[in-house]
Amino acid sequence: MQDEQEITVRVAVVGFVAFYKTVLGQPGTERLTLCRDCLVLWDGLSSLMRTREKLYTEEIAEEAERFLTAGLDAWFRLGLTNKVSIHTMGTHAIEDLKFWRGLWKRNEEFTEQLHQVGTSEHVVSTR
């Protein structure tokens, strides 16, 4: 089942794409195109990151890395800030995807527990 945040993001993406289609091809839409590309790339990365362990392959990790690289490029070309979550994605997302062989059941609560229990201790105990 999708969590509320993921549903909200998907609704926002669908709404943005509908809005984009109404102004497609009009002058001055380059930034809008970049926004669309950025959202689509992050949505694709999110889908790949939530791969189930039994479906994980190295090809998924490679594709996720391409989505991440392009998503970060679009993000910074838009002039958006390097918040902690963006830094974390850029630094740890692919490494974590490969280590856990998919992150489908490792949600925000899992991450919070890593902070509370202690990252190295928790990682060792869950391998």
pLDDT at 96: 86
Nearest to 108 by CA among 17, 4, 35: 4
- Classify 51 as helix, strand or coil: coil
pLDDT at 41: 93
Q: What is the pLDDT along the chain (127 residues), one digit of tens a residue?
A: 455 556 555 656 666 666 656 555 566 678 888 888 888 999 999 899 989 989 999 999 999 999 999 999 988 888 888 887 788 888 888 998 898 888 877 766 776 776 677 655 445 444 4
Reported pTM: 0.67
Contact criterion met (CB below 8 Å) for 93 and 44: no
> Which residue range(s) make up the domain with 55?
4-126
**Total number of domains constituting the chain:** 1
